[in-house]
A and B are shown apart, each in its own frame.
Chain A
Amino acid sequence: MSTSVVVTGLGIASPNGLGTKEYWSATLEGKNGIGRITRFDPTGYPSQLAGEIDGFEAGKHLPQRLLPQTDRMTRLALVATDWALEDAGVKPGSFADFDMGVVTASSSGGFEFGQRELQRLWSLGSQHVSAYQSFAWFYAVNSGQISIRNGMKGPSGVVVSDQAGGLDALAQARRQIRKGTPLIVSGSIDASICTWGWVAQGASGRLSTRTDPSRAYLPFDADASGFVPGEGGAILILENGSAARQRGAKIYGEIAGYGATIDPKPGSSRGPGLRKAIELALADAGVGARDIDVVFADGAAIPELDRIESEALAEIFGPRGVPVTAPKTMTGRLYSGAAPLDVATALLAIQEGVIPPTVHTAAISDYQLDLVTGAPRRAKVRTALVLARGYRGFNSALIVRDFRESSNN
């Protein structure tokens, strides 16, 4: 039997709540974190709404030494990691250095830091570019800074596969634990709401141009017209299940199954790969469709992608066969941070026996989705499926399961 891998700590930074407690209550209340951009003046850009994190003052949480060398996304990731480790009851020194690793995902790197240094390069000259530009923008910087700050020298890395990367990182973390590393910090935080980041994101052509925060991001809706981006995500502490039990850790649940596929190139006669990713995850977890109590949807809000997702769900679970939710309607799509936040939310749903709602959206009836809208739904949640798709064809599916009842593992 494979080693079971469990989640023992959560650190959440979301546009509708900073910290697990605040995020969870905001999410159950249906609090919308999407609004007009405040970080810069969005007038003149086609898209003007985003999910921004308010009230995060890095200097209150991090040593001053780290501030000149970190982008906003790294500061958020370092603080979320501190919260996750505290939540897991892991103190520096309670594990050997090489028994702890870091595997995060990244979608764009430290755009805001990079933008500032590029502006200096072109307006003042190369001597004015910070030496920290050598790593502060880089995809792997969050893994690196988390590793340095916490003395974690075990297997580490970064996964770059857009939104799907958030699940792919957790899967890679699970592999490293199964290979013998007791603890891995995983998940992801993305944040690139700056003018350069905004132009780069807009180039996908997938951003909503609506200006009403309650009508802009509407996955599965007849009015779906693209998504609203956001910043943030979640950092999770993953541990070997039996070791976590032995040390008496609080266990949120088990990473029970994972599957990933790539869509065929446009024009291919083969169909999209999402359904196959779900089937792989179910097989990996050793469960059937009827064992899944809730699906956290990818919710692209691109009509073609919504149709593919709802068809995959209806084919596997039957018409309206499983409750489906997309709490990311309150945060916007957080790129690589979205799926770890969904996984954290699924674990809280398991713990609390409640499915958080999808807001603003009314699903097209042809989609045959049992979408949880309006208010949270009380339900016994033992096993949850989380979906994430990345730009240009990445599909990932991850299953989390209550660990309290699986005492035979």
Chain B
Amino acid sequence: MTKEFTLEDLKRVLLASAGAAEGVDLDSNILDIDFADLGYESVALLETGRQIELECRVSLDDGALAQVRTPRALLSLVNGHRNAANAQLREAS
């Protein structure tokens, strides 16, 4: 069983894959702020998604990733995939 992918995890991956925009404080309450307002455009999110896939060993659907607008929605997408993967693991065992 793998643990949840948290906001702290996401911030770490965002910084590593795309850096931080000037004037944006990732430590403020960013959960519901649009990624565009945080300075992350579509390619930055694609790169972030790629890093999360490698780290969490999940496969995120590119189409679903493109729909994600906020950190909360991205965390929900990632953890949804993880829970589904974990459930499959449980069934298989």
A residues near B (Cβ < 8 Å) are 63-69, 127-128, 130-132, 134-135
Q: Which of B1-33 contact A (CB under 8 A)?
A: 16-22
7 more A-B residue pairs beyond the given contacts A65-B39, A130-B47, A134-B43, with a C-beta to C-beta distance below 8 A: A63-B21, A64-B19, A65-B22, A68-B19, A127-B50, A128-B54, A130-B50
**Residue ID in chain A nearest B21 by CB atoms:** A65
Main secondary structure of the interface of B (DSSP, over half): helix
Known interface pairs A68-B17, A134-B43; A127-B54 also in contact (CB < 8 Å): yes
Main secondary structure of the interface of A (DSSP, over half): helix
Which residues of chain A are within 8 angstroms of B53 by Cβ–Cβ distance?
127
Docked pose: A66 CA to B40 CA in angstroms? 11
Which residues of chain B are within 8 angstroms of A65 by Cβ–Cβ distance?
18-22, 39
Q: Is B77 an interface residue (CB 8 A)?
A: no
Q: Is the CB of A131 within 8 A of B43?
A: yes
Q: Is B85 an interface residue (CB 8 A)?
A: no
Q: Is the CB of A131 within 8 A of B47?
A: yes
- Would you give the shortest CB distance from B82 to chain A, in whole angstroms? 17
Which residues of chain B are within 8 angstroms of A69 by Cβ–Cβ distance?
18, 43-44
Which residues of chain A are within 8 angstroms of B18 by Cβ–Cβ distance?
65, 68-69
- Would you give the shortest CB distance from A232 to chain B, in whole angstroms? 25
Q: Is the CB of B19 within 8 A of A67?
A: yes
Docked pose: A127 CA to B54 CA in angstroms? 7
**Residue ID in chain B nearest A126 by CB atoms:** B50
Candidates B20, B46, B50; contact of A64 at CB < 8 Å: B20
**Residue ID in chain A nearest B18 by CB atoms:** A68
Which residues of chain A are within 8 angstroms of B19 by Cβ–Cβ distance?
63-68
**Residue ID in chain B nearest A129 by CB atoms:** B50
Docked pose: A127 CA to B46 CA in angstroms? 11
**Residue ID in chain A nearest B41 by CB atoms:** A148
Q: Is the CB of A132 within 8 A of B47?
A: yes
Known interface pairs A64-B20, A68-B19, A69-B18; A132-B54 also in contact (CB < 8 Å): no
- Would you give the shortest CB distance from A32 to chain B, in whole angstroms? 36
18 contacts between A and B (CB under 8 A): A63-B21, A63-B22, A65-B19, A65-B21, A68-B16, A68-B17, A68-B18, A68-B19, A69-B44, A128-B54, A130-B47, A130-B50, A131-B43, A131-B46, A131-B47, A132-B47, A134-B43, A135-B43
Interface centre among A63, A134, A135 (most CB of B within 10 A): A63
- Would you give the shortest CB distance from B53 to chain A, in whole angstroms? 7
